[in-house]
A and B are shown apart, each in its own frame.
Chain A
Amino acid sequence: MKKIYFPLLFFLLLLLVSCERKQENSLIQQKKTTISLAYSWGYGFKNVIEDFKNRVSNDFILETEENIGLNHKQKILIDVSSNIVPDVFCFWSYETNLKYLADKDFLLNIDEYFNTSTKIKRTDFYEESLEATLIDGVNYGIPHERFFGFFAVNKSILDEYNIAIPKTWDDLIDMGKILNPKGIVPLSMGSFRGDPGHLFFSALTYQNVNGFSDTEKMKNTNNFIYPGTINAAEAVVTLINNNVVPNNTIYEGSYDRQVDIYNKREAAAIFAFSWSLALFDYDIAQNTLFIPVPLISNESVNTNEFTIGGTAQSICISKKAWSDPEKREAIITLVDWLLSDEVFNIRMEQSGCYPTKIMELPQMVNPIFEKATNYLNRTKLLGIHEFYFNSLNSFNQYKEANDLLWSGAIGRDDFLQMVQNSMEGGD
């Protein structure tokens, strides 16, 4: 009789052990660290993030939130107002954008990350890119994207209508006279929330001999009205008056829309940006020619030697999250991955964002990348107005003013005064 007890007891014991183990597993599951990431790298990156989530799922849980473009900026600023920020997030670089968050003590001095990470070092990055996150001698973000603007024309359209490559503002106006009747706008440009008009405005400002130096001084002088901005605003008004840009720049005010009408041959020229490179159609890219920005009347700086650019977004780490020992390891794993060659290559392929990390660029199929890289290598980058405003508010007013200027709602002087007022803390 006794013999039968042993198998029965063994069976019951097995049941108990398996139940116990299940409970343990569920407890382990509950104890996993959760960290959050907010980014604005477009839909294509979503799959990459999901793949990473699966890879680290045994170590921690990654919650992500994605928003497109300025919606992401708006989301972070709302978070800041609510006194919370994601554990790791992308944000626009330079003091204009970062100071507000740094002053509120949300951001980690990223040297703490560099000192802890075993995979990423400060020296992995271009020094000028690191300067983009420097506020009072402290880096509050790890630069992630180098960007630049470029002026390009669709050579096939110009050839089709026997138009020479435009070199001056007058050439652009003449292009409009030929192309407008054909339903083609000479230059794809718009401005909503300042994009992309305010970037082109900087490029125009720097055609003035003192344009860039005056801009660099803005933070100290609180002066927006100087020859470069005056001439640039006047040049914009000229474009509008001569139908060189689309009639409704509010409607066309997005990087996607800008490239979309260029791809559809509804625009002959474009002042585009490296983060839009992946949007260019292959055929259009083949016919695209990178040229110097046509020279504004009365300006003398050689536009073949410079373009606007700098560091776009940086990776920021929440100071509060970093101080949590349970989260720190997960944050390091995440940021190490975000700064890996793998992610930089994907970002380059998906959008055209050039790495801030010193590394070999990936080989790209679309010829626009090769043209852009060649252009970047031979051209000097000058920082845009955004980097030199004395506050985020004045920068936002600058973008608002750009919308009104490009839409034709206000003229040169109103535009200049509007921005100047914001610089001085007025309306």
Chain B
Amino acid sequence: MFKINRTIRKDLVITILLAITIPFLTISFIYANSIKNIINQDVKIYQEAIIKQSSSSLSNIFSSVKMIQRSALGKVISDYIPISYNSTLDKNDILKLKDLIEFLYITDNASSYVNGIYVIFESGYTVSSRNGIREKLLINREWIAEAKASRSSEIYTEFHLAEYNVASPRGEYDSVISVVQEFILPEKNGARVIVQIDIDRTVFNNFVGSIENNEQIPMFLINSKKGKILLENEIYSEYSQKIDRKEIIVKEEVIRDILYLYAYIPTDRIINRFKSVIVGILLIISFVVLISVVTAILLSRTITAPLHELFLCMKQVGQGDFSPVYPHTKYSEVDFLIESFKTMVNEVNNLIALVSRQQSEASEAKFQALQAKINPHFLYNTLDVIRSIALENNNSDISDMTLSLSRLFRYNVGDLKKTNSIGNEILYIKDYLKIQNYRFGDRITVNYDLEPELNNMMITRFILQPIVENAFKYGLELRGRGGELRISGKIEDNDIVISVYDNGPGIEPSKLEFLKSSLSAEPNIKSITKAHGLDNVNLRMKLLYGEKYGLFINSEYGKWTCMNIKIPIIYGEDCDKTSYN
């Protein structure tokens, strides 16, 4: 499980962030929802209005054309002449014909929608508003035949090139939609005349190019009678492949029963519009969150910096440095904390110093007490006096014994923590045994088996003697004759092992276990204050040399006891200059 390391600063940053972003996100959500509703309703209404406007524009164009058609027809009727290519016209007819053509010229000029007005008489004779036409190219077009067949119905052609218009440069004929209708003139004996108005493609530029179609709505104009699309805007041309049934279709009448405008309101367009709003809102949210984060970090840093410094200060104290640099702050609450902490640290520091001093004093007292237990110093001078008396009385035994005893006591005056060479320690043991020899006579045999190189290696004083003394006290003294004390020494696994063997009565197994357990226990203050005998020696060795060194006892009950002293090899000059020699 991931552990979150919470800090006041992090919590503060999160709090500030939440305080800013939650209300803002709520407002944004409400705002976005409102926008969505506006887009769904108002935009749809707006788009429908654009479609109506386009339909109305187209309707106006065709209505204007229709008006022009009517006025041209009126002129034909008022100045009607039964004309053909072979007609011989009198002056009056010529003037009427010229009037008609002038009228067509002027009407064509006056309307920006019109790109040619053509009047086709029953004989095929054609007059136009243009400088010249190729009449055969016109009267043979299919819509002329269609107009004749449709009995006065309006015909709306698809876009075609006005190749019948001579005035246009070759290869650059205008693309036009023709509105064609045949009229019967009852006052002229039922004569028939076809009026064709050409509407230039450019007239529909606004529609096709969607110039006024701000919403870029796909639209097309269809001739419902033929089921053919007459016009389509560029958006529809691109869009027609992608239209699906989800689109909203709007149908507007342009010319009743003939021309209808169809438009698609793509639902995805509305969604996209909403998406663009959402993107805008998301950008604003991101910006606000960014500002919030920066603000939160800066604010929290200002507020929590003293606390953080106090935290670091505490950590420093925790690691034992009681002289930290305390932070400064303008916040009174934090100031109080810092001052309190400062007081607390000072008090703790004082207490630690006191405890340390007391421990040090207690330890020194303990050593002095231990030393006092085995150091009957006052006897030393007395023994020297006894020896002098014995020599005066020629009592060599007493003199020797007193000398040995005197040397023993002199040796005992030395510091317990000082070291001595093993060789000197053995000499000390020999003095001790000499005294014991006066006591036990030939009941005890002493054997030495020490490797010679051990003589110069160092051992702390009062390690070996108490062991030998123990061998007498608990072993050889309890045996009658034939007692053996064997002191051997060797180097084993880069350590010195000195063994003290006696063939005394040995140690009972339960007691032996207790002793082993006691010797192998870890040293502590409690054990120091309470230790005696072997434990004392063992404890000193462990304190001086380390945990792996000390005394190791073994015994066979009723037969023997062997005490092994294990110490490190130390060659040194740190020996007692007042050593035994």
Mark A residues whose CB is within 8 Å of B. Answer: 1, 4, 42-44, 67-69, 71, 74-75, 192, 247-248, 250-252, 254-258, 260, 278, 350, 403-404, 407-410
Contact = CB atoms under 8 A, between A and B. Distances in A.
Interface of B: 85-91, 93-95, 97-98, 101, 105-106, 109, 125, 127, 130-134, 166-169, 172, 291, 294, 298, 302
Contact of B85 (A68, A192, A248, A257): A248
Contacts of B166: 254, 256-257, 260
A250 B97 contact: yes
Contact of B298 (A1, A74, A409, A410): A1
A74 B129 CA distance: 14
A136 to B, nearest CB: 33
B109 A67 contact: yes
Contacts of B87: 248
Given A43-B169, A248-B85, A254-B167, A192 B94 contact: no
Contacts of A4: 291, 294, 298
Contacts of A250: 94, 97-98, 101
B105 A71 contact: yes
Contacts of B86: 247
Contacts of B172: 43-44
A192 B98 contact: yes
Q: Which 7 A-B pairs have the closest CB atoms?
A: A257-B132, A254-B131, A409-B94, A409-B91, A254-B132, A256-B166, A256-B132
23 contacts: A1-B298, A4-B294, A43-B172, A68-B131, A71-B109, A74-B105, A74-B106, A247-B85, A248-B87, A248-B125, A250-B97, A251-B85, A252-B132, A254-B131, A254-B132, A254-B166, A256-B131, A403-B94, A403-B98, A404-B91, A407-B89, A408-B88, A409-B93
Nearest to B102: A193
Best-surrounded residue of A252, A257, A278 (most CB of chain B within 10 A): A257
Nearest to B301: A1
A1 B300 CA distance: 11
A193 to B, nearest CB: 8
Given A67-B109, A254-B132, 20 more contacts: A4-B291, A43-B172, A68-B130, A69-B131, A71-B109, A74-B106, A74-B109, A75-B109, A247-B85, A250-B97, A250-B98, A256-B132, A257-B166, A260-B134, A404-B94, A404-B95, A408-B88, A408-B89, A409-B90, A409-B95
Contact of A257 (B89, B97, B131, B294): B131
Contacts of B89: 407-409
Nearest to A254: B131
Contacts, number: 72
Contacts of B169: 42-44, 278, 350
A407 B94 contact: yes
A372 to B, nearest CB: 19
A52 B167 CA distance: 24
A227 B43 CA distance: 80
Contacts of B167: 68, 254, 256
A43 B168 contact: yes
A254 B130 CA distance: 9
Contacts of B106: 74
Nearest to B106: A74
Best-surrounded residue of A4, A44, A248 (most CB of chain B within 10 A): A248
A158 B106 CA distance: 40
Contacts of A1: 298, 302
Contacts of B132: 252, 254, 256-258, 260
A1 B131 CA distance: 80
A42 B90 CA distance: 34
B155 to A, nearest CB: 25
Nearest to B167: A256
Contacts of B125: 248, 251
Contacts of B91: 404, 409-410
A192 B191 CA distance: 26
B530 to A, nearest CB: 67
Contacts of B294: 4
A185 to B, nearest CB: 12
B304 to A, nearest CB: 15
Contacts of B90: 409
B80 to A, nearest CB: 16
B419 to A, nearest CB: 69
Contact of B127 (A251, A258, A407): A251
A254 B168 CA distance: 13
Nearest to A42: B169
B173 to A, nearest CB: 10
A194 to B, nearest CB: 11
Contacts of B302: 1
Contacts of B131: 68-69, 254-257
A71 B109 CA distance: 7
Contacts of A260: 132, 134, 166
A337 B7 CA distance: 80
A408 B79 CA distance: 19
B110 to A, nearest CB: 10
B286 to A, nearest CB: 15
Contacts of A69: 131
B136 to A, nearest CB: 10
A306 B294 CA distance: 95
A43 B109 CA distance: 15
A251 B101 CA distance: 9
Contacts of A410: 91
A407 B96 CA distance: 13
A389 B127 CA distance: 31
A192 B88 contact: no
Contacts of A407: 89, 94
B303 to A, nearest CB: 12
B268 to A, nearest CB: 31
B168 to A, nearest CB: 6
B140 to A, nearest CB: 15
Nearest to B129: A71
A247 B123 CA distance: 15
Best-surrounded residue of A44, A75, A247, A251 (most CB of chain B within 10 A): A251
Nearest to B127: A251
Contacts of A403: 94, 98
A4 B302 CA distance: 15
B259 to A, nearest CB: 28
A250 to B, nearest CB: 6
